A and B are shown apart, each in its own frame.
Chain A
Amino acid sequence: MLGLMRVEFHRARTARQPLCTLMVAIDDLDGIFERHYWQGKDAAMRASYDLLKSSCKGLGFFGMALMSGDRIMAVFPNTDPGRLSELGNAIVEAAHKVTLTLDGESVPITLSIGASHNLLAETNSSFEGLVEMSGRALFLATEGQGNRYVMWREAEAEIDGLRIELEERKKSFEREALVLEEEASEIGGLQQAQLVDKIQQLFAGVERTDAIQALEGQILDLAVKELFEERRKAVAAQMAEHRRQTDILEKRIAKLTSILGVTEEELKRVMAMKNIDAGVASIFRTVQGLSADDNQVETKKALMSEIFKQNLSLQKRNAPAAEAA
């Protein structure tokens, strides 16, 4: 199955199609295991797997899944990340309705889901990278108290979206500016012609003298200049508004990028501080001590006692010094 998933990943990369992965974990699975042992864990895993299957069927998703250890991994070829969110949230919701009956006890389950898609540079290069990112998203989901769906790098994707939007807006503003100028010059030409006609009509009924003709010429020049100035101001105001919108978008991107950087740093710090690895359980539940069946039980008892005495005197010797410190 893993091989098939890998093939689908490479196929999606070659065909430049979106592909998403889901990593599903049951919240407090360790608790279920401790209370109901393997049977409980197995039943919970199977119920989650069935839930994933039924949700996919219900929402028309086509993909492949495998259950490994305490996680379920699924790959959905040709699936848009936006659409996958629909599935992820639906599974989280559906899990609320699932109640397992284990050892006569009703056990509700909640799920944490991490997802990633191949549309980011960091997830597009290898299948392992894609899976790792969905694992990190799952970690974010579980660390956020579980019972949630998290898509890896949604914030970055949002910033990318904003960048694209900004570029499109810049282009559209440039186009609009050209159109405005053209319109302005066309309208200006028309308005200019109308204004000239009206002024000339005013002077039509007046006796033409040199002085009047000169005055008509001056009035026409002045009117055209004023008209041109008004038109220039209107276009400049519109362009200023466009620039303001561009500035706002750029500032928003800068701020979001900076917040993302800080968040990533903080996340790294928290991940380093927290012991992410929950550890590996000991095979012993209680202190063992020497077995009575041991061939050298008496010798060993004496040796244990001697080691203990030596350590006791050593540590008692330290105790007053530590208290004094």
Chain B
Amino acid sequence: MTKNSVVDTKKGEPNDSIAAQMSTNVEAAPNKDGGVLYLGIDLGTSRTSVASSNGQRVTISSHVGYPKDVVSKKLLKKDILFGDEAVEHRLSLKFYRPLAAGVMKHTSNEKTDDVEGNMKAAADLIREIIRLAKPRKDELVYAVIGVPAQAAIHHKDAIIKAARETVDSVMLCSEPFSVAYGLDMLDDVLVIDIGAGTTDLCRMHGTMPEENDQVTTTFAGDYVDNRLTELIKKKYPEAQFSIHMIKAIKERYGNISDTMPPVVVELPVNGKPTSFDITDEMRTACRSIVPSMVDGLSNLISSFDPEFQDRLKNRVLLAGGGSQIKGLDLAIEDEMRKRLGTGKVMRIEEPVYGGANGALKIAHDMPAEFWNELK
């Protein structure tokens, strides 16, 4: 735990004696008079991103792996692997995707091995993403972490506990809210944050969104992956692939429009790479999340002040990694027009960093006394 320094040594003053150095090492937490580093973190199912006030912006896939045995540890030369490196070596690892379904992957408080493992993986992932932001030892580190809108209370506890090991003060906020805050769109806006595990819809009306302002569904990136897997298996039963391959294909070719270019991918059949046309399957799988999204939008719009419903319909923000599916904004607009009469969807400029940027802005705007209170 890093707190303010207890050592009162002037910086730059020579202090050569070994005894002096030893006493400093034993007692000292680092002297944090070097500035304030703000971190905005978007803790996602698929990707975890950080934006910080020293200009560092990093995103890693939310995978954590621990070598299964001594042999793999010796081979990999690491105790923990993160992100794509973990995915690449997953066969030699005890492999975790700790934030599956948008929240920490456990459904009960029972301390089974998997729950413990996922909690540890989540904590390690948070530590790693903070490390990647390159905080200096002499700086106070204040972090705002965006979590799914309806994350359970014990998930929030676990996130705070993990973060407090590496930062001086931490706050959580809902992901879609941080996206809207980052864009200064606080009034009469609907945010759709499409992650891998969940799609969060949030209605902003100038105050902090409450529970009835937010809708979370599991029709998100993972759902598209599973749907695409089913469709390809059905059409090409001989094709061999893994869910990671499907995810990579979706991220590269994800498209929803009727005039999309053909999607021809190579998948192995009995070890031999074979070309498959999956254009229709891709379109169908990507389109499958639209109706539920518009259902959610419809609920949030219809329960809003009638005078401002039209304004809300025309200010829909599309964010999150899933928003990179080409043509998704137009498909939602079409569906909104059919069901709600009108609709205007705006894609945010940086889908991957939208949440992290917003969280960083919140961290920046938070007064000092609030940070101090939470230390």
Binding site for B on A (CB under 8 A): 28, 31, 34-35, 275, 277-290, 296, 299-300, 302-308, 310-312, 314-315, 317-318, 322
Q: Which residues of B contact A290 (CB under 8 A)?
A: 365, 367
A-B contact pairs, 28 of them (CB 8 A): A34-B34, A277-B134, A279-B54, A279-B136, A279-B139, A280-B55, A280-B56, A281-B35, A281-B136, A282-B36, A282-B38, A282-B53, A283-B54, A284-B36, A285-B35, A286-B36, A287-B368, A288-B38, A288-B365, A299-B207, A304-B362, A304-B365, A305-B370, A307-B362, A308-B370, A310-B208, A314-B156, A318-B157
How many pairs of A and B residues are in contact by the CB < 8 Å rule? Answer: 118
Q: Considering the complex, which residues of chain B in the window 4-43 have a beta carbon less than 8 Å from any beta carbon of chain A?
A: 11-12, 34-38
- The size class of the interface chain B forms with chain A is 35 or more
| In the complex, residue of chain A having the shortest beta-carbon distance to the beta carbon of B13 | A31
Asked whether, in the complex, the Cβ of A284 is within 8 Å of the Cβ of B157, the reply is no
Query: Do the beta carbons of A307 and B173 come within 8 Å of each other?
Result: yes
Return the CB mask of B343-375 against A: 1 if under 8 Å, else 0: 000000000000000000010111110110110
The reply to whether A279 and B137 contact each other, CB–CB distance below 8 Å, is yes
Query: Please, how many angstroms separate the alpha-carbon atoms of A151 and B171 in the complex?
Result: 48
Check if B186 is an interface residue, CB within 8 A of chain A: yes
- CA distance in complex: A322, B157 (Å): 11
A279 to B53, CA, bound (A): 12
User: Does B71 reach chain A (CB closer than 8 Å)?
Assistant: no
Residues from chain B with a CB closer than 8 A to the CB of A285 are 35-36
From A277, A283, A296, A307, B366 is in contact (CB under 8 Å) with A307
| Bound complex: CA A28 to CA B153 (Å) | 46
Tell me which residues across on chain A come within 8 A of B135, comparing CB atoms: 279
Contact B366 A281 (CB under 8 A): no
Would you call B370 and A300 a contact (CB within 8 A)? no
On whether the beta carbons of B365 and A289 are closer than 8 Å, the reply is yes
A172–B14 alpha-carbon span in the complex (Å): 54
Cβ contacts B174-189/A at 8 Å (1 or 0 each): 0000000100101100
- Nearest-CB residue, chain A, relative to B204: A303
| Smallest CB gap from A303: residue in B | B208
Separation of A307 and B161 alpha carbons in the complex (Å): 18
Residues of B contacting A300 in the complex (Cβ-Cβ under 8 angstroms)? 186, 365
Flag B160-180 by CB within 8 Å of A: 1 or 0 each.
110000000001110000000
